């Protein structure tokens, strides 16, 4: 109860532009940081990559993240690394990005998207909306949905891909 009252007091003082008794030298009140962390479920350290000083949880972005591909299996399983980087100001929660639709639009075209994926233009489709021999063999990431257009379009047009939901009859977008 005391923590809640302290956090509320710190929030009120921060809103007024005053420092709380628990203020850190760097600026943000400690109670405010603790209150922000309370809303985030960092999970546990069950990931193979836990405790390596890099956050491997794809719910986060920024400088505290690993440079290796992010896997769904690490979501909520790298708590210590992610919490430490978050508290140091080196991470923030990723904003929810709406997934592109899995099926072809009514007009029969496929929206391949753009080439903003880290894995774009490597001659392998990394978009999990598709299936077939033109796909990469590495783990598919949600963040690549609709962001590997050239690779997926070329494989689709060559007959090496189809939409994963089974709508292989849709014409490719021009």
Residues 152 and 103 in one domain: yes
**Predicted confidence band of residue 81 (pLDDT cuts 50, 70, 90):** very high
Residues 111 and 168 in one domain: yes
Domain with 19 in it: 1-39
Q: Vertex 11, ends 7 and 12: CA angle to 5°?
A: 120
Q: Are the beta carbons of 82 and 64 closer than 8 angstroms? A: yes
**Predicted confidence band of residue 106 (pLDDT cuts 50, 70, 90):** low
Residues 34 and 75 in one domain: no
**Residue 43 predicted with pLDDT over 60:** yes
- Compute the mean pLDDT over every residue in the chain, rounded to the nearest whole number: 75
- What's the whole-model pTM score? 0.40
- φ, ψ dihedrals at 59, nearest 5°: -75, -10
Residues 14 and 47 in one domain: no
- Using alpha carbons, select from 93, 105, 91 the residue that is nearest to residue 40: 93
- Which of the two residues, 118 and 18, has the higher pLDDT score? 118
The share of the chain scoring above pLDDT 70, in percent, equals 65
Q: Is 22 left (phi over 0), alpha (psi -120 to 50) or beta?
A: alpha
Q: How many domains does the chain have?
A: 3
């Amino acid at each position: 109860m005391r923590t809640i009252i302290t956090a509320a007091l710190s929030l009120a003082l921060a809103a007024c532009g005053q420092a709380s008794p628990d203020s850190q030298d760097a600026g943000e009140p400690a109670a405010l940081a603790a209150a922000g962390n309370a809303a985030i479920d960092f999970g546990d350290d069950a990931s193979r990559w836990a405790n390596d000083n890099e956050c491997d949880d794809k719910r986060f972005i920024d400088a505290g993240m690993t440079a290796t591909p992010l896997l769904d299996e690490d979501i909520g399983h790298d708590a210590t690394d992610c919490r430490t980087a978050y508290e140091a100001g080196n991470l923030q929660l990723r904003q929810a990005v709406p997934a592109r639709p899995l099926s072809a639009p009514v007009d029969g075209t496929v929206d391949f998207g753009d080439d903003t994926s880290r894995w774009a233009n490597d001659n392998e489709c990394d978009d999990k909306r598709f299936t077939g021999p033109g796909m990469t063999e590495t783990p598919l990431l949600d963040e690549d949905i609709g962001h590997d257009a050239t690779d997926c379009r070329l494989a689709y047009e060559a007959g090496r891909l189809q939409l994963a939901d089974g709508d292989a009859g849709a014409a490719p977008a021009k």
